Chains A and B, each alone.
Chain A
Amino acid sequence: MSGAARAEATLLEAAPGAARQEIVALLGNPNSGKTTLFNALTDSRAHVANYPGVTVEHREALVALGGGQTARLVDLPGTYSLVPRAEDEAVALNGLLGRLPGTPRPSVIIAVVDATNLERNLYLVAVLRELGLPVIVALTMMDTVEADGTTIDVARLAKELGTKVVAVAAARGQGVKELREAIAAQQSVPPVPAHEPPVNASPEIIALGQRVADELGLAGDAASIGLWAVALNAGATNAVQFSEPVRGLLSRIDGAGIIERAVASRYARIAAWHIAVTQQRAPDALTRSERLTARIDSFALNRFLGPLILVTIFGALFQTLFAGIKPVMDAIQDGMHGLGIHVAQLLPARMPLLRSLVIDGVIAGVGNVVVFVPQIVVLFLFLGLLEDSGYLARAAFLLDRVLSRVGLHGRAFVPMLSGFACAVPAILAARTIENRRDRLVTILVTPLISCSARLPVYGLMIATVFATRAPVLGFIQVGTIVMISMYALSITAALCMAALFKRTLLATAPSPFVLELPPYRRPRLRALTRHVWSKVSRFLIDAGTIILAITILLWALFNFPRSAKLEADYADAKLTLAPAPDAGERDSQLAALEAKFAKQRLEQSVAGRLGHAIEPALRPFGWDWKVGVGLIASFAAREVLVSTLGLVYGLGQGAEDHPESLQDAMRDDRDEAGRPVHTPLSGLSLMVFFVLAMQCASTLATVRRETGSWRWPAFQFAYMLALALGGSFIVYQGGRWLGFT
């Protein structure tokens, strides 16, 4: 079901007849207080969904207008302009025009205007008025303006704009009732005539405007609409698909000059409104909030202190994600393990397969989902705090030069850094990047960053094949060098691939960059917790179901087909187990028996046979079938390699709890010719594979969820697999050619 269809369905459940609801759209600049107003108007009962086909988030909810009247309130993405530059802005424009699937034309547009920044915020209103769209102005942040000693004549502004203007302090609930009444009243009021065009347009532009007005059903002046269409054309976006005749007209009009004049003329008009409605106590002085912001920024953006503060803040985030949260995640895993044992006792021992399905399939699968929750909570709490306070924009300012070199957006820093802990929350964090292509590049390369799930694999291989080596220069452990090399490889690969994607597949015109530094604001805890909860719940529902399904699928690969003979042998062997004098010895004998049969069962399973079948293909990389089986399992999650190798080497379940025996078993493993199976070279080749390959079902599920289709995760899986196989091949064959083993 598409996002819109799902949104529709939910709304229909919420209120019968919702399909006939009037649409009210919320539009405004980023940071204008739009979200706070949305929450205040809807009592925070938003439904969040993606617009179909795009990765742009869409929130809507029913709003009560009084007198039993309701409307669908649609929160459009924040934008500075009606000439879209990014996909999000195109969604905002199409939302206004009623051209989004499942969302008819709004009957009223609430233009959210930040009163502390009247001039620039009124620009959007000016264009809306020229196009003849029905507008109500919601003037937010009035409390800040008043505290700064400025007065805004709301009635006069309404007169100048020719629209209703409602002053609101959404966080305190002031003006919300009036806004509701204004929306309700607007439904029965004849439309206000549109504003005059900003400049005199040529007959060609007027003719164009008439056509566009007919096509889009706009009520504004033909000259205004023509000017807007010319600007849209100059903006080089195909946000609005025009018909062939309109495109023909557009191709014959040279917009240069007139667009600039139109914008300048609009601002002249706005400046006149601004002067007419505001009275500042001291016109040129910095306001109180500006002074506070300037004081904080003198530290936060200082040439020396700024980077230091940045590193400290993100270092703390990284430390929390990487280490601080580990006890919680361990507790979840222990809890799931305990739950498994408890459930096992409830299920009859006669049904080992059902037991195995419930414990190793379902409970393990749920555990694989829930284990991400603490990281997601921490990351989004942190990001929410940084975003709401205004610091995230500063971080992008400080980092833009470094990241733009490789074609990454300044905000790509947060996902990339979080990627060292786990790609799943990191990819969710890519949402803060507004531009869709920049976001996709970040999503595509983030899993290359060496996440914490790779550590057990590095640990096992280093301990197995490098631990016995003499230290370099007498004191540097070889393992340390190998570990650092893996991280260096991962960072290099991520940055190179980002640069490559940015230049080829997701090439854009040199990324336009205009960043606003909003004043620092105190984050609101309630909105923040709501935001975090919505992230978590949607991860659990959307990605969680896929992760669970993949876990169960892999469980089946490792448990089927089952051989009746083997099971009978196992039962016999258990019965004929020599009665040992004490219980301890009997337990260890039983465990050895179980491990032996687990190994045989695995060898007969689809996964085991697959491991044998692909062994010839793995030879050039230096791996045998046992590693092959481990690789198959590790596509669910990388760390599974360790426990699977434990099974393959006949050590039974839980090999990760006593790693030395597995390392010894692997080190002592010999092939038919008596040569060691695991050499430093084959170990290195395997580690390189783990750095570069996308072996994480949870990440793939998350990417699917974030990009809205299987296309991107499939591509990501393929390119990373190719990269990994290439890398391992070069390491192993190149190493052999150079004479290493």
Chain B
Amino acid sequence: MSLDVPVLPLNELDDAAQAPRLEPRVCLADLPLGAAAILGEADGLNTTILRLLEMGLTPGTSLTLTRRAPGGDPIEVRVRGTRLCVRRADLSRFAVRSVTLPTPRTGRDRK
């Protein structure tokens, strides 16, 4: 696992409009499809967050956004070799340690 990928400045993300420059926090749910994030801590503990932790979304885990349902919610992610669908409200509560953006080719393909 490569934990040392630097956090990209936000203005380099696909959709700069959605993530204003001054906001220091990357919102996991707003990352482009194909982006891989190393998870940080979750903000607060409720039953869903606890369950997501128990399903393997622990700090340091690599998570890839693979698909959005029509309408943008829920979001399908790949984590620890399984595919989970999570609502964006829950996903947004996980901090992001670092992001690897998809290579341009995949980005276009997914579009």
- Bound Cα distance A307, B71 (Å): 11
Please tell me if B103 contacts chain A, counting CB pairs below 8 Å.
Answer: no
Q: Which of B3-11, B23-31, B51-59 contacts A (4 or more CB under 8 A)?
A: B51-59
The residues in B between 66 and 84 inclusive whose CB is less than 8 angstroms from any CB of A are 67, 69-74, 76, 80-84
Which of A234, A237, A396, A513 contacts B48, CB < 8 Å?
A: A513
Inter-chain contacts of B48 with A (CB < 8 A): 512-514
Q: Is the CB of B45 within 8 A of A260?
A: yes
Q: What is the CB-to-nearest-CB distance from B91 to chain A, in angstroms, rounded to a whole number? A: 10
Residue A351 at the chain B interface, CB threshold 8 Å: no
In the complex, what distance in Å separates the CA atom of A514 from the CA atom of B59?
18
- The reply to whether B58 and A264 form a contact with Cβ atoms under 8 Å apart is yes
- Specify which of A85, A260, A264, A398 is in contact with B69 (CB 8 Å cutoff): A398
Q: How far is it, in angstroms, between the C-alpha of A81 and the C-alpha of B54 when the chains are bound?
A: 7
| Among listed A115-123, A454-462, A536-544, interface-contacting one | A115-123
Interface size on B, residues (CB 8 A): 34
Please name the residue on chain B nearest to A399 by beta carbon: B69
- Chain B residue contacts of A235, Cβ below 8 A: 47, 50
CA distance A514 to B50 in the complex (A): 11
Interface residues of A in 244-286 (CB under 8 A from B): 255-256, 259-260, 263-264, 267
Q: How many whole Å from A631's CB to the nearest CB in chain B?
A: 43
Taking the complex as formed, is A62 at the interface, i.e. its CB lies under 8 A from any CB of chain B? Answer: no
Are A517 and B71 neighbours in the complex by a CB distance under 8 Å?
A: no
A513, B90: Cβ atoms closer than 8 Å: yes
Which residues of the partner chain A approach B70 to less than 8 Å between Cβ atoms?
A: 303, 306-307, 398, 401
A515 at the interface (CB under 8 A from B): yes
- Chain B residues with CB under 8 Å of A516's CB are 82-85
Q: Which of B42, B61, B67 has the most CB of A within 10 A?
A: B67
Contact with B along A119-135 (1 / 0, CB 8 A): 11001000000000000
B87 near A: Cβ within 8 Å? yes
Q: A322 contacts the other chain (Cβ, under 8 Å)?
A: no
Complex contacts, B90 vs chain A, CB 8 Å:
512-514
Asked if A85 and B47 make an inter-chain contact with CB atoms under 8 angstroms apart, the answer reads: yes
Most chain A CB neighbours (cut-off 10 Å) among B47, B54, B58, B60: B54
Instruction: Answer whether residue A80 sits at the interface, using C-beta atoms and an 8 A cutoff.
Output: yes
Chain B residue contacts of A404, Cβ below 8 A? 87
Q: Are A120 and B55 in contact (CB under 8 A)?
A: yes
Task: Kindly list chain A residues whose C-beta atoms are within 8 Å of the C-beta of B58.
Answer: 260, 263-264, 267
Complex alpha-carbon distance, A116 and B74, angstroms: 24
How far apart are B105's CB and chain A's nearest CB, in angstroms? 16
- Complex alpha-carbon distance, A81 and B50, angstroms: 10
Q: Which of A119, A120, A397, A402 interacts with B85 by CB under 8 Å?
A: A397
Task: Let me know if A123 and B54 touch, CB within 8 A.
Answer: yes
Q: Are B42 and A119 in contact (CB under 8 A)?
A: no
- Check A301 for interface membership: any CB of B closer than 8 A: yes
CA distance A514 to B84 in the complex (A): 7
A397-B74, A400-B74, A401-B71 in contact; A517/B83 too (CB < 8 A)?
A: yes
Quick one: closest A residue to B67, CB to CB?
A: A301
Bound-state Cα–Cα, A517 to B72, Å: 17
| Nearest chain A CB to B54 CB, angstrom units | 5
Question: In the complex the two chains form, what is the Cα distance from A119 to B84 in whole Å?
Answer: 14
Binary flags per residue of A282-318, CB closer than 8 Å to B gives 1, else 0: 0000000000000001000101001100000000000
Q: Which of A69-94 contact B (CB under 8 A)?
A: 80-81, 83, 85
B-contacting residues, A209-263, CB 8 Å: 231, 234-237, 255-256, 259-260, 263
In the bound complex, residues from chain A placing their C-beta under 8 Å from that of B82 are 117, 120, 516
Q: Which B residues are in CB contact (< 8 Å) with A264?
A: 53, 58-60
State the CA gap A118–B80 with chains docked (Å): 9
B13 located at the interface, meaning its Cβ lies under 8 Å from any Cβ of chain A in the complex: no
When distances are taken between beta carbons in the complex, the residues of chain A under 8 Å from B60 are 264
Residue of A nearest to B87 (CB): A513
Contact partner of B81 (CB less than 8 A), chosen from A119, A123, A231, A402, is A119
| Residue ID in chain A nearest B86 by CB atoms | A514
User: B15 in the interface, Cβ–Cβ < 8 Å?
Assistant: no
Q: Which residues of B contact A117 (CB under 8 A)?
A: 80-82
Contact present for B76 and A512 (CB under 8 Å): no
Assembled-state Cα–Cα distance A398/B85 (Å): 10
Task: Please tell me if A509 contacts chain B, counting CB pairs below 8 Å.
Answer: yes
The CA of A221 and the CA of B16, in the complex, are separated in Å by 51
Task: Decide: B74 and A85 in contact? CB cutoff 8 A.
Answer: no
B54's nearest neighbour on chain A, judged by CB, is: A81
List the B side residues contacting A263 at CB < 8 Å: 50, 53-54, 58
The reply to whether A514 and B55 contact each other, CB–CB distance below 8 Å, is: yes
Q: A123-B56, A516-B82 are in contact. Are A400 and B69 (CB under 8 A)?
A: yes
Cβ contact within 8 Å between B47 and A515: no
**A116 CA to B82 CA, complexed, in Å:** 9
CA distance in complex: A117, B56 (Å): 11
B14 interface hit (Cβ, 8 Å): no
* Chain A residue contacts of B41, Cβ below 8 A: 260
Q: How far is the CB of A145 from chain B (nearest CB, A)?
A: 11
Kindly list chain B residues whose C-beta atoms are within 8 Å of the C-beta of A120.
Answer: 55-56, 80-82
A514 adjacent to B52 (CB under 8 Å)? yes
Residue of A nearest to B53 (CB): A263
Q: Which residues of A contact B67 (CB under 8 A)?
A: 297, 301
Return chain B residues, CB-CB under 8 Å to A509: 46-47
A141 to chain B minimum Cβ distance, whole angstroms, is 13
Q: Please indicate the chain B residues that have their CB under 8 angstroms from the CB of A512 in the complex.
A: 46-48, 51, 90
Whole-angstrom distance between the Cβ of A507 and the nearest chain B Cβ: 15
Inter-chain CA distance A514–B53, complex, in Å, is: 11
Residues of B11-41 at the interface with A, using a CB-CB cut-off of 8 Å, are 41
| Cα–Cα distance between A517 and B83 once the two chains are bound (Å) | 5
Whether the Cβ atoms of A256 and B47 lie closer than 8 Å is no
Q: Least Cβ distance of A713 to chain B in Å? A: 30
Complex: chain B residue closest to A307, CB-CB: B70
Bound state CA distance, A119 and B61, in angstroms?
12
B72: nearest chain-A partner, CB-CB: A401
CB-CB contacts of A369-410 with B at 8 A, as 1s and 0s? 000000000000000000000000100111011101000000
Which A residues are in CB contact (< 8 Å) with B87? 400, 404, 513
Question: What separation, in Å, do the CA atoms of A307 and B70 have in the docked complex?
Answer: 8
Chain A residue at smallest Cβ distance from B85: A515
**Docked pose: A402 CA to B73 CA in angstroms:** 10
- On chain B, the residues within 8 Å of A81 by CB distance are 51, 54-55
How many Å from the CB of B15 to the closest CB on chain A?
17
In the assembled complex, the Cα of A234 lies from the Cα of B42 at a distance in Å of 15
The reply to whether B45 and A259 contact each other, CB–CB distance below 8 Å, is yes
Closest B residue to A82 by beta carbon equals B54
Shortest distance from the beta carbon of B22 to any chain A beta carbon, whole Å: 29
Contacts of A116 in B (CB 8 A): 81
- B56 surroundings in chain A (CB, below 8 A): 119-120, 123, 267
Proximity bits, A457-484, B CB within 8 Å = 1, else 0 = 0000000000000000000000000000
Known: A267-B58, A402-B71. 12 other contacts (CB 8 A): A83-B51, A119-B81, A120-B82, A263-B53, A263-B54, A267-B56, A400-B87, A401-B70, A401-B71, A513-B85, A515-B85, A517-B85
Across the A-B interface, the 5 shortest Cβ-Cβ residue pairs? A512-B48, A515-B85, A264-B58, A517-B83, A401-B71
Chain B interfacial positions (CB closer than 8 Å to A): 41-42, 45-48, 50-56, 58-61, 67, 69-74, 76, 80-87, 90
Q: Which residues of A are interface residues toward B (Cβ below 8 A)?
A: 80-81, 83, 85, 116-120, 123, 231, 234-237, 255-256, 259-260, 263-264, 267, 297, 301, 303, 306-307, 393, 396-398, 400-402, 404, 509, 512-517
Report 7 cross-chain contacts, Cβ distance below 8 Å, ordered by A residue: A83-B54, A117-B81, A263-B53, A264-B60, A397-B76, A400-B73, A513-B90
